[in-house]
Amino acid sequence: MDNLGEVLRYLRESDGFISGDRISGRLGVSRTAVWKYMNQLERYGYNIEKSKGKGYHLAGTPDRLYGWEIDRYRKTDVIGRRIIHRDKIDSTNSLAFKQALAGEPEGTCVVAESQEKGKGRLGRKWSSPAGKNIYFSVILRPAIHPSTVYPITFLSSLAVSDTIGELTGLEASLKWPNDVLLHDRKISGTLLELSTEADMVRFVIIGIGLNVNLEPKDMDQEIKARATSLSMATKKTFERPRVCGILMSNLERYYNLFREDGEMAICDIWEEKARIRGKRLEINQMGESYKGIARGIDRDGAILLDIDGKIKKIIAGDVNF
Ligand code: BT5
């Protein structure tokens, strides 16, 4: 894939056409090999104009989340250094989990154009139509105790919210525990899955769904009234590889902070950004409903709810809108 990425770079650098000779000289491969790369690019959906006298010209790029397209925007050392791309998948989290079990190193990402069984928390579904959004999962291997893993969800939401800010200038809001909202509608969710061994985390999978060019007509009835996307909020379309590259970069920045300064640093930033202290909330947990005033986030990611003067610590649940 490296040579293919290089060929694309040469095509993009040249304003008009670039000759087969030049490419073969720069890559140190035959002209027949260059011709084969062009055919390969066409199979991936690139529009290549071929002229006998002038050579090759890149006339169109497909809207696809290929790793080498994401690489153009990704400023990371670890997250995304290997990207597994699929057109269709059951769930990016499931494949990332399998890869991690088989020893895949930290940073590998699974990215898909569509998911047939996109997963939310607690067996819920993540609506994942093709070619519209970002569905991606990254394998992390932090050397931490399982009890400190939960704030990784917060670092993911923070990375998503910074990405939205960078791309649109809009301020997203954070909703406990894993939602990112824009204009009070859900635009992104994170699903954390982990594997542990004795007192250690073996690996964590962060799975992020981010609605990018999703339109109301693409939405299931269930989410129509509650979901939004970057394009719905701004009336613009976005290059998904760019969105993904920026997201990976922000994720790595927060992950480094998590490793260097610990989970509390992440919880503090999240708590501040979510402006959760003092908010009156109703939280559902396993069918029980609790009303109270949020007093903050504990270092394990739990919310501290003040119910008539008594603090209840809630580890997992959903805040009602
Ligand atoms: C989440 O669950 O928000 C976690 C979503 C994680 C999805 C990613 S996609 C890549 C990776 N691979 C996977 O298989 N999953 C991860 P939860 O808090 O339980 O929210 C689920 C609820 O959000 C659903 O019950 C719907 O109400 C709503 N929802 C579903 N699809 C949505 C979408 N595309 N946009 C906005 N809301 C959606």
Instruction: State whether 240 and 216 are in the same domain.
Output: yes
Whole-model pTM above 0.75?
yes
- CA 115 to ligand 1: nearest atom: 14
Same domain, 118 and 264: yes
pLDDT attached to residue 287: 84
Our answer on whether the CB atom of 291 is closer than 6 Å to any ligand 1 atom is: no
**Residues 50 and 190 placed together within one structural domain of the fold:** no
> Nearest C-alpha to atom 23 of ligand 1 is from which residue?
126
SS3 230: helix
- The residue nearest atom 2 of ligand 1, judged by CA position, is 120
Give the domain extent around 47: 2-60
In this structure, what CATH number is given to the domain that contains residue 12? Answer: 1.10.10.10
Q: Which residue has a Cα nearest atom 29 of ligand 1?
A: 126
Q: Are 215 and 308 members of one domain?
A: no
pLDDT at 318: 84
Residues 49 and 114 in one domain: no
Say whether both 142 and 80 belong to one domain. yes
Whether 197 and 311 share a structural domain: no
- Ligand 1, pocket-test mutation among 126, 137, 191, 251, most atoms within 8 A of CB: 126
pLDDT the model gives residue 198: 85
pLDDT for the residue 267: 95
Is 317 near ligand 1, meaning CB less than 6 Å away?
Answer: no
Q: How far apart are the CA of 189 and the centre of ligand 1, in A?
A: 5
Q: Is 191 in the pocket of ligand 1 (CB under 6 A)?
A: yes
Tell the residue nearest (CA) to atom 11 of ligand 1: 207
| Rounded distance between C-alpha atoms, residue 106 and residue 78, angstroms | 7
What's 209's domain CATH number?
3.30.930.10
Ligand 1 centroid–CA 51 distance in Å is 47
CB distance 124 to ligand 1 below 6 Å:
yes
76, 177: one domain: yes
With a 6 A CB cut-off, is 20 part of the ligand 1 pocket?
no
Q: Check whether residue 91 and residue 112 sit in a common domain.
A: yes
Residue nearest atom 25 in ligand 1 by C-alpha distance: 124
Same-domain status, 311 and 257: no
Q: Yes or no: say if 124 and 178 are a contact pair by the CB < 8 Å rule.
A: no
Nearest CA to ligand 1 atom 26: 223
Same domain, 290 and 151: no
Tell me which residue has tokens 């990371």.
Answer: 76
Measured in angstroms, how far is the CA atom of residue 92 from the centroid of ligand 1?
12
CA dist., res. 246 & res. 164, Å (int):
9
Same domain, yes or no: 100 and 230: yes
Amino acid 285: pLDDT: 86
As a whole number of angstroms, the distance between CA 287 and CA 145 comes to 29
The reply to whether ligand 1 has any atom less than 6 angstroms from the CB of 86 is no
**How many structural domains is the chain composed of?**
3
Mean pLDDT by 10 residues, the chain (321 residues): 86 91 93 94 96 93 95 97 97 98 98 98 95 98 92 97 98 95 97 93 98 95 94 97 98 97 95 93 89 91 93 87 53
- Can you give the three-state secondary structure of 239-295, one letter per residue? CHHHHHHHHHHHHHHHHHHHHHHCHHHHHHHHHHHHCCCCCEEEEEECCEEEEEEEE
Where residue 266 falls (left for φ over 0; alpha for ψ -120 to 50; beta otherwise) is: alpha
Tally Cβ neighbours within 10 Å of residue 23.
Answer: 24
CATH code, 315? 2.30.30.100
